[in-house]
Copies of this chain bind each other. A is one copy, B any other.
Amino acid sequence: MIVDFGRNPSMKHYHCVPAFVSKLWTLVEAPSTNDLICWSQDGCSFLVQDEQQFSKEVLPLYFKHSNMTSFVRQLNMYGFHKVVHMDSGLPKSDGQVNCVEFQHENFQRAQPHLLGLICRKIIKFIINIVQLNGIKGCKRRL
């Protein structure tokens, strides 16, 4: 397995590592955004320091949106879990920024070889009414 540590978000992603996971790794590693997103001290999780600035400035560099909620939906989709802090939900004192932490057992600093183990949860089923382009009709119209 190969992981690309390219400096810009246009790096390739390889077949064993989903695009999201590859981008996330690059994102957390990137020194230029370490003030907004970085590894935790022990390297077993990552921190987003200022959710609002992060979503508006960093997310669109890697994804087609700037919504923290979409980012979190993807994290959950890949099995990441929020690390809940004792003071979450409490009002912040002045100048204190919020801090969000997420964790996945196979997403750890200096352990890129584990990334291939992170997989997306598959949607269980979908249905139903298929709009047929004229059931007996031709599939091509001139």
Contacts and interface: CB of A to CB of B under 8 A. Distances in A.
Given A12-B86, A130-B124, A131-B122, A141 B81 contact: yes
A138 interface: yes
Looking at chain A's contact residues, is the secondary structure mostly helix, strand, loop, or mixed? loop
Q: How many copies does the complex hold?
A: 3
A122 B130 contact: yes
A120 interface: yes
A110 interface: no
Interface residues of A, number: 55
A130 to B, nearest CB: 5
A79 interface: yes
Contact of A125 (B9, B87, B125, B139): B125
Interface string A53-81: 00010001110111101000000000101
